[in-house]
Amino acid sequence: MTVPEFTSHTPLRIGTRRSPLALAQAEMAAAAIRDAYGLAQEAVVLVPMLSSGDKIQDRPLAEIGGKALWTKELERALIEDEIDIAVHSMKDVETVRSPLFVLSAMLPRADVRDRLIGVASIDALPLHAKIGTSSPRRAAQLKALRPDLVTVPIRGNVATRMAQVEAGEFDATLLAAAGLDRLGQTDIGASLPLETMLPAAAQGAIGIDHLAERTELALFLKAVNHEATFLAVMAERAFLEALEGNCHSPVAAHATCGEDTILLRGEILAEDGSERHSGALEYSMDDRDGPARLAADLLGQSSDRLRHLFTP
């Protein structure tokens, strides 16, 4: 198998959502590929697409199909040979995917933390403050910290959400630090420590996938894969898979790689924040059962009510 060659006549076609953040992330992937192979600008092109998640803005994603809404148009385009590879925010990629597709590379991970927009800290929020978030994880974590807070669904891109807070529709909202940084908004919001709010699994990571049958692309993408990010994110996704949760299940996870071990932290919560279980496990990189053991440990500490949010 040889590494494919891409030129202005036969460029590498990168599928991406049309949102400003998705386009910025796709361009990061394109730049990494150009740099790795010394390709000309026109040898790598973006193919922007409008996803169902972008079209439907009046309801939380969990109510209308979840993460699949971000990826299904790109997957269709891969199948129909409209694009060669697709670039995703890994946080938006379904945990269990069709064997037709394979993730072959991830770029170096960015800041995994959440940022609070509107106030300087959670403690600074007024009593019964209204927080805009459509994330079950963020809503549950906020309520675990401040049971008085009211969480209300919010949709739209980064600029739209920030404008809603500025207009007083919400007292605050939460956004991923990585997304803000990639949009040049490095000075916006207050970053929350991981001890306060453990992030969503795969937050801050950009993944590249393609059709599994195109094995030449797997070889090609090795040049831009950041191994530590890839291993950490796959550990977090394995933790989610072991929990058997869905889009309504409040869960957080974060992994870091040592020399030959992975340290995985996980957290599961009741939707109203009234129950919260956290834990950590360090295990060998060749131990594929580590994430499942941490998931089983947290579920074992949980009430029947909380377990039912995860295991069917």
Question: Any idea which residues carry the catalytic annotation?
Answer: 92
Q: Residue 185: CA atoms inside 13 Å, Cβ hemisphere, count?
A: 20
Sign of CA dihedral 110, 63, 103, 159: negative
Give residue 267's identity as a one-letter amino acid code.
Answer: E
**Whole-number Å distance between alpha carbons of 122 and 190:** 9
Tally: H helices and E strands in the chain: 10, 13
Question: What Cα–Cα distance (Å) separates residue 110 from each residue in 18, 175, 203?
Answer: 21, 14, 8
- Give the sign of the dihedral formed by CA 16, CA 19, CA 22, CA 27: positive
Contact 173, 131 (CB under 8 A): yes
Residues 237 and 303: their CA atoms lie apart, in Å, by: 23
